[in-house]
Structure 1
Amino acid sequence: MTLIKSISGIRGTIGGTPGDNLTPIDAVRYASAYGSWIKKQRNKENYRVVVGRDARISGEMVQQLVMNTLVGLGIHVVDLGLSTTPTVEMAVTMEHADGGIILTASHNPKQWNALKLLNAKGEFLDAVAGQEILDIAEGGAIDFSEVDALGKITKNDAYIDLHIDEILELPLVNVSAIKKANFKIVVDGVNSTGGIAVPLLLEALDVHPVKLFCTPNGEFPHNPEPLKEHLGDLMKKVVDEKADFGIVVDPDVDRLAIVDEKGQMFGEEYTLVAVADYILGHQSGNTVSNLSSSRALRDVTEKHGGQYTASAVGEVNVVTKMKETNAVIGGEGNGGIIYPELHYGRDSLVGIALLLSHLAEQKVSVSELRKRYTAYFMSKKKIQLTPELDVDALLKSISETYASEEINTVDGVKIDFPDNWVHLRKSNTEPIVRIYTEAKSQEKADALADRFIREIESYMS
């Protein structure tokens, strides 16, 4: 059982011992710290925080703990109930709220949950704010309100619809072309809130959704990380239904992966690439993705005359770099699309609408679209951490070994070889070291990853 405390929030497994797992005591402690931090940002009479959750089994329990802790601090809560991460992000600004909390452990299995924390812009906290909250949680002053100053909870279940309305109003979402295309799409909602939001978006665009695992009961039918090895049912369903393609999102709907009409993976890395190609085809500009993302985004950006920049891993780092470079599109290679015309957050719903616009305007199949982009192949592997492993020393040793290559140590160690690359970093969300590689064939990418796994294991032994 595990509890991970980081600047982006608190994430852990349900049950067990306080301080070692995400127990009710830990949920209250960190909600108290966050609420106290919110009140320190501005001296005002009324504070408001938006709270929403994915459909995982522990969600309702954790949400009640969090909301009532905020009430105890004199903070009013807007309860979105079952929602998505990007919907909560947008609701923060629409409500003119002081912050937001999404109760979701993203792609982690059902025993996990987390408090993902937002600022008043509906964006993830930066390192300074995150550290302040951790410090409060570890012993800072928390002053709860007296009985006449308690907060109130207001339910509002309209925000998924409002989120979709905002997407449909975007100039580059070609609603008429999508409606004329008469798409039929299989949707794997992994029995979470994507099963609510994605079909609603598709129906608003006159797209026929074939629902697969769209009951939001938190009983994930497969590992919720949208990777090829977990998506056999979706791949088969697309072919059986003779659908135009398939969509899968993670439990909180900020990652998007596509299966083509032949039942083959489009490649989660290429979700962002295809959307960027569409955006840059209509407006000039720059792009950003993180260090673990495909070179294909750089290629398509340069094709359109833009400049590509890589950031450290983590949505807040991508957003910061996007603002610095005035990027018109960005995100992460795990299927996370950030379109600042809507908001600065990974958003599968806007990603779907933009991808549909691209396909409808180009009048091509998903498999044909994929052939337009440079064929890169990635391997994504991981090694479980052991308590005695000094990860920083490990990464330093590897960077010294490959000092003659192009090295980037902004986030872990990335080694750019002439024809491929490897990125090694400690995960922010799991007790693992991630090993990402990319090459011109799957065999070469896998071999490069296996080679570095052996080097890490040799260091550990």
Structure 2
Amino acid sequence: MTLIKSISGIRGTIGGNVGDNLTPIDAVKFAAAYGVWIKQQRNKDNHKVVVGRDARISGKMIQNLVMNTLIGLGIDVVDIGLSTTPTVEVAVPMEQADGGIILTASHNPKQWNALKLLNAKGEFLDGVEGAKILEIAEGNTINFADVDNLGRITKNKAYIDLHIIEVLDLPLVTVKPIEEARFKVVVDGVNSSGGVAIPLLLERLGVDVIKLYCEPNGHFPHNPEPLKEHLTDLSEAVKKHHADFGIVVDPDVDRLAFMDENGDMFGEEYTLVACADYVLSKTPGNTVSNMSSTRALRDITEKHGGSYEASAVGEVNVVKLMKENNVVIGGEGNGGIIYPESHYGRDALVGVALFLSLLAERKMTVSELRKTYPNYFMSKKKIELTPDLDVDAILKTIEVRYQHEQLTTIDGVKIDFPESWVHLRKSNTEPIIRIYTEAKSQNEADALADKFIEEIVDIAKA
């Protein structure tokens, strides 16, 4: 059982001991710290926070704890209920709220949940803000409101619909050509809120939708991370129904992956590549992704006359660099599309709409589209951390060993070789070291990852 405190929020497993897991007491503690921080940002009489959740089994419990803690601090709460991460992000500025909380552990299994924290712009907190909330949580500075000054909870269940309207109103989303294309699509909603939001969006676009695992009951039918090995049922359904393609999202709908008409993965890394190709063809400019994302985005960006830069891993880091570079589209290679024309957050609904617009324009199959992009292969592996493992020392040893290669050390260690790269870093959300590699073939990418796993193990034993 685990409790992880980071700039990504407060994430942990349900049950167990206080301080070691995401227990009710821990949920209250960190919600209270966030509420204190919210009140510190603006000196006014009334503060407001938007709260939503994915369909996890623990979601209602954690949401009620969080909302009642906030009203205990005198903060008004807008309860948007079952929702998606990007929907909460969109709702915060629409409500003119002071912040937002999403109760979701993203791609983690069902025993996990988390408080993901937003500022008044509906964007994730940065490292300084996150550190301040952790400091408040560990101190004795939380002062609750008296009985005459408690906050109030109001419910608004319209925000998924409002979010869809916002997506359909984007200038590059070509509703009529999509309707005329008469696509047939299978959607795997992993029995969470994506099973509600994505079909609703597709139906508004005239798409024939076949639902797979779209009952939002929190019982994930497979590992919720949208990777090839977890999606055999989607592959079979695409082939069985002769669909044009398949769509899969993670439980909170900020990651998006496609499957082609043959039941083969389009490639999670290529979600951003395809959406960027479409956006850059209409609005030339620059792009940003994180250091663990494919080189194909750089290639496509340069093809359209723009420049590409890589940030440290983490949505807040990607967004910061996007703003600095006045980027037209960016995101993360895990299927996260960040389109500033909409908002600065990963959004699978925006990604679906842009991808459909691209397909309607190009008039080609998904497999044909994939062949138009540079072919890179990635390996994504990990090593479980043990308490005695000194990760920083291990990474420093790797850095010294490869000092004559092209190194980037803003987030772990990334080594760029002429035809490949490897990125080694400690995860913000799980007790693991991630080993990501990319090369010109799958065998080369896997071999490179295995080589560095062996090196890490040898260094740890030394």
Give the alignment's TM-score, normalised by structure 2: 0.99
Deviations 1:49-104 (A, max 9, x none): 00000000000000000000000000000001100000000000000000000000
CA distance in 2, matches of 1:426, 1:138: 24
SS in 1 for 2:229: helix
Deviations 1:153-185 (A, max 9, x none): 000000000000011111100001100000000
Which residue of structure 1 aligns with residue 152 of structure 2? 152
Coordinate RMSD, CA, aligned: 0.4
Identity of aligned residues (%): 75
Which residue of structure 1 aligns with residue 24 of structure 2? 24
CA distance in 2, matches of 1:8, 1:292: 17
Quote the offset at 1:139 in angstroms: 1.0
Amino acid corresponding to residue 340 of structure 1 in structure 2: P
Would you say 1:95 and 2:91 are equivalent positions?
no
Would you say 1:443 and 2:452 are equivalent positions?
no
Which residue of structure 1 aligns with residue 134 of structure 2? 134
Asked whether the 8 Å contact 2:8–2:429 carries over to 1, the reply is: no
CA distance in 1, matches of 2:426, 2:309: 22
Which residue of structure 1 aligns with residue 244 of structure 2? 244
CA distance in 2, matches of 1:140, 1:32: 11
Asked whether the 8 Å contact 1:261–1:366 carries over to 2, the reply is: yes
Mapping of residues 395-406 of structure 1, within 5 Å? 395-406=395-406
Asked whether the 8 Å contact 2:259–2:265 carries over to 1, the reply is: yes
Which residue of structure 1 aligns with residue 177 of structure 2? 177
CA distance in 1, matches of 2:354, 2:281: 12
Mapping of residues 13-412 of structure 1, within 5 Å? 13-412=13-412
Consecutive aligned runs of 4 or more in structure 1 exceeding 3 Å deviation? none
CA distance in 2, matches of 1:208, 1:195: 15
Amino acid corresponding to residue 364 of structure 1 in structure 2: M
Quote the offset at 1:140 in angstroms: 4.1
CA distance in 1, matches of 2:297, 2:284: 14
Amino acid corresponding to residue 91 of structure 2 in structure 1: A
CA distance in 2, matches of 1:392, 1:139: 28
CA distance in 2, matches of 1:135, 1:141: 10
Amino acid corresponding to residue 299 of structure 1 in structure 2: D
CA distance in 2, matches of 1:416, 1:318: 19
Which residue of structure 2 aligns with residue 426 of structure 1? 426
Give the alignment's TM-score, normalised by structure 1: 1.00
CA distance in 2, matches of 1:386, 1:288: 33
SS in 2 for 1:280: helix
Quote the offset at 1:459 in angstroms: 1.3
CA distance in 1, matches of 2:139, 2:167: 42
Asked whether the 8 Å contact 2:48–2:97 carries over to 1, the reply is: yes
SS in 1 for 2:48: strand
SS in 2 for 1:346: coil
Asked whether the 8 Å contact 1:427–1:434 carries over to 2, the reply is: yes
SS in 1 for 2:280: helix
Amino acid corresponding to residue 392 of structure 1 in structure 2: D
CA distance in 2, matches of 1:149, 1:83: 28
SS in 1 for 2:328: strand
Quote the offset at 1:7 in angstroms: 2.0
Q: Which runs of 5+ in 1 are unaligned?
A: none
CA distance in 2, matches of 1:139, 1:190: 39
SS in 2 for 1:327: coil
Number of residue pairs matched by the alignment: 461
Asked whether the 8 Å contact 1:7–1:134 carries over to 2, the reply is: no
CA distance in 2, matches of 1:133, 1:9: 10
SS in 1 for 2:289: strand
CA distance in 2, matches of 1:400, 1:266: 37
Amino acid corresponding to residue 120 of structure 2 in structure 1: A
CA distance in 2, matches of 1:208, 1:98: 39
CA distance in 2, matches of 1:8, 1:183: 36
Amino acid corresponding to residue 122 of structure 1 in structure 2: G
